[in-house]
Amino acid sequence: MDTLVSLSKRRGFVFPSSEIYGGFSSTWDYGPLGVELKRNIKNLWWRDMVQRRDDIVGLDSAILMSPLIWQASGHITEFTDPLVDCKVCHHRFRADQLDGDRCPDCGGELTDVRRFNLMFKTFVGPVEDDASVAYLRPETAQGIFVNFFNVQQSMRRKLPFGIAQQGKAFRNEITPGNFIFRTREFEQMEMEFFVKPGTDEQWYRQWVDNRYNWYIKYGISPDHLRIREHQKEELAHYARATSDIEYTFPWGWGELEGVANRGDFDLRRHSDASNKDLSYFDDETGERILPYVIEPAVGPDRIALIFLLEAYHEEPDKDETRVVLRFHPELAPIKVAVLPLSRKLGEEAHNVHSLVRSHFMSQYDDTGSIGKRYRRQDEIGTPLCVTVDFDTLADSAVTVRDRDSMEQVRVPLDALVQKLKDMLKLGE
Q: Which residues bind ligand GAP (CB under 6 A)?
A: 139, 141, 171, 173, 182-183, 186, 188, 190, 255, 257-258, 295, 297-299, 301-302
Q: Which is nearer to ligand GAP, 139 or 378 (CB)?
A: 139
* Least gap, CB of 149 to ligand GAP (angstroms): 19
Angle between helices 32-46 and 300-311 (to 10 degrees): 110
* Least gap, CB of 364 to ligand GAP (angstroms): 34
Cβ density class 245-272: b for 16+ within 10 Å, e for less: bbbbbeeeebbbbbbbbbbbbbbebbbe
* Least gap, CB of 128 to ligand GAP (angstroms): 26
| Euclidean distance between CA atoms 17 and 244, whole angstroms | 29
Q: Which is nearer to ligand GAP, 40 or 183 (CB)?
A: 183
| Euclidean distance between CA atoms 276 and 18, whole angstroms | 45
| Euclidean distance between CA atoms 372 and 60, whole angstroms | 44
- Burial (CB count <10 Å: 0-12, 13-18, 19+), residue 425: exposed
Q: Which is nearer to ligand GAP, 173 or 366 (CB)?
A: 173
Closest-by-Cβ residue to ligand GAP is 299
Which residue type, as a one-letter code, is found at position 3?
T
Q: Which is nearer to ligand GAP, 161 or 181 (CB)?
A: 181
* Least gap, CB of 235 to ligand GAP (angstroms): 11
| Euclidean distance between CA atoms 326 and 218, whole angstroms | 11
Q: Which is nearer to ligand GAP, 82 or 108 (CB)?
A: 82
Peptide bond into 160 cis (omega under 30): yes
